[in-house]
Amino acid sequence: MASSSALSRISTLQNHISPLEANNKLRSLVKISPEVSDAISNGRAVVALESTIISHGMPYPQNLQTAKEVESIVRENGAIPATIAILNGVPCIGLNEEELERLASLGKSVQKTAGRDIAHVVARRGNGATTVSATLFFASMVGIQVFVTGGIGGVHRHANHTMDISSDLTALGRTPIAVISAGVKSILDIPKTLEYLETQEVYVAAYKSDEFPAFFTEKSGCKAPFRVDSPEDCARVIDANMKLNRQAGILFAVPIPKQHSAAGNIIESATQRALTEAREQKVTGSAETPFLLARVNELTGGTSLAANIALVKNNALIGSQIAVALSQLI
């Protein structure tokens, strides 16, 4: 057992570790691409991107093509893309072309990695595609303030019986990063998800709309808590959140473009059928969302997948503009 004087010296050393030194120690545990590292160091706009949409969201090679197109949109709008994944046990912030190709070709054999799974995947030197909660963790670790995704997880329908609530919501409640998404997936219970986000003190605003969007469609029937109308509006909210040292995150919900919005009743009908099939086949937990999205895509003849790709690209456009506006304020 350590002596009291030894414990005192350890405590003194711990108290003298600066936040910068602690942050540098954390950064040494991940691989940051030179481009992303340079952008962060020089205060340039960076946009974090998750990787589950690549490995589990669509088939190869469509997933690779979409990932490249999303990164191109980010670049064209003045920001640097930082796609995040775990490869051979190493968390990677920013993937090169070879790494993107590998992740896309491995597809569903890559473990879908939420926040709770990170240590397991790293310890086993495995490959992990990060969900919203895991991507938030790594983006926060290196100081990225803006994260673009398709849609976040939420409170599942019948959660009062299953207790199935996505860790995305609690991660947002404790990670001060702005997430740009198309709202909440229509396979979820949207009103309960908004209530849970309020409980987690997450700032939620719809982009150029008074109504919270429902992923595939522009409207959910739920009023958004707040409204923002420009990238500059969003940047000022993020900046204020940072300066006030709030530890909760921000959700900017961007409606899918009108020309790509699928008919809401078609999507809802397919969703109800997919939910019934999931219960009959006892599909639960982390396997449920990929099953539901794939089944809805089948039932709608590919309409939902086309809408999914369109909304991700639109989110990348808006998210990049927000990141650039933020870099001009800081």
Catalytic residues: 50, 185
Cα angle: 226, vertex 227, 231; to 5 degrees: 130
Look up residue 11 and give its amino acid: S
Residue 260 corresponds to which tokens in the numbers above? Answer: 């790509």
- Decide: 85 and 138 in contact? Cβ < 8 Å: no
Q: Strands 226-228 and 128-130: what pairing?
A: unpaired
**CA 104 to CA 63: how far, in whole Å?**
6
> Distance between the two ends of the chain, CA-based, in angstroms?
48
Which residues are within 8 A (CB) of 118 and not within 5 positions of it... i.e. 6 or more apart?
86, 91, 128, 134, 137
Residue 224 corresponds to which tokens in the numbers above? Answer: 């958004």
Look up residue 128 and give its amino acid: G
* Residue 130 phi, psi (nearest 5): -80, 135
> Cα dist. 318→144, 203, 229, 231, 300 in Å?
16, 18, 11, 7, 27
DSSP 262: P
